[in-house]
Amino acid sequence: MAGKVRETEFARSGSGPSEVAKVAVLMAAYNGEKFIVEQIESILCQRHVSVSLFISLDVSSDSTLDIVSAYVEKNKNVILLPYGERYGSAAQNFFRLIRDVDVEEFDYISLSDQDDIWDSKKISEAIQTLQESDCNAYSSNVVAFWDDGRTRLLEKAQPFRQWDYLFESAGPGCSYVLDRSLIRKLKVVLVQKSKQVNLVALHDWFIYAFARTQGYRWIIDSRSFVLYRQHGGNVIGANNGLKSALRRYKLSRQGWYRFQTTLFVEILELNEFRGRLDDYFYLLSHVSNFRRRKLDRLALAMLFLLKIY
């Protein structure tokens, strides 16, 4: 695949966009004292862009608040949103950021986990790709890494399928860079449909579905500029090995995926799918349009055949 990186290094590329863009980086944090310093430093070291880092900290029991407060005191471009609320999930914490941060002075918005490591060109390369492709939204492959030194390239840049957004994300949200027009419209939906949005479990999947259904242009980069940390606290993490596959199978049997997909149909008013998610014949006949990877389409077809999606 063109532009593919080796598992142990970041992609190497050019010097970024021709003009310095203003970027709001939105970080959702919770009990992040172990890794958050390394991630904040990698964000503040972004090249060829002007970055402001907005942090929403869910009520934590460790020293994360002290760590973040120290950065706020020393850096005018690090802003901690009012602290004291419990959001209960990364998704709801990110939605709080998107609702509450005024993005009108920024050209682009980037999402950040608290525990990854970004290459210094991560944002500038994304913006250059967006500008060259005339797209509104960017995501990319990422390199997953574990504390024992293992690494693995997570490939997400397969060709789009017609309705893949109903059954998968565009990749980890930590790779997302979105233009202001998309975020502006997303804010409206988050406010108007707040009760339903409160049930959304994965922000990155929902944002991708929103963008695709609202006519925004998305590009998935086959390069990686993110070291995507894997540990016990990951909400989903790398789809790696038997343990991960069994976890996803269990969620499917419990109806978790089906509930989320149905929720998206309701929030985004996708009338053509109303009632169709209960029709396994319909799902099987359209499975080729539901996932980007062939292996994932086969696995989804098996779930439909077994009627456990």
Q: Which domain CATH number covers 72? A: 3.90.550.10
Residue 25 has pLDDT above 70, yes or no: yes
Q: Has residue 52 been placed in a domain?
A: yes
In percent, the amount of the chain with pLDDT more than 90 equals 85
If one counts the domains in the chain, the total is: 2
Residue 2, in any domain of the structure: no
Residue at which a domain ends, from 197, 229, 261: 229
Residue 3 lies in a domain: no
Q: Is the pLDDT of residue 234 over 80?
A: no
274 and 185 share a domain?
no
Residues 137 and 204 grouped into a single domain? yes
- Cβ-based neighbours of 38, under 8 Å, separated by 6 or more: 115, 117
Do 158 and 120 reside in the same domain of the chain? yes
Place of tokens 């407060």: 69
The predicted pLDDT at position 58 comes to 98
Which tokens in the block code for residue 45?
């070291």
Instruction: Tell me the residue range of the domain where 260 lies.
Output: 241-306
- Same domain membership, residue 274 and residue 125: no
Judge if pTM exceeds 0.85.
Answer: yes
Which residues 6+ apart lie within 8 Å of 10 measured at CB? Answer: 119, 121, 143, 224, 225, 227
Tell me if 15 is assigned to some domain.
Answer: no
Query: φ, ψ for residue 31 (rounded to 5)?
Result: 45, 55
Q: Are both 109 and 222 inside the same structural domain? A: yes
Q: Quick one: how far is CA 29 from the chain centroid? A: 14
Judge whether 220 lies within some domain. Answer: yes
For range 130-154, the mean pLDDT: 96
> pLDDT tier at 247 (50, 70, 90 boundaries)?
confident
Distance CA 31, CA 172 (A): 20
**1 falls within a domain:** no
* 254 located within any domain: yes
Alpha carbon distance 57, 180 (integer Å): 23
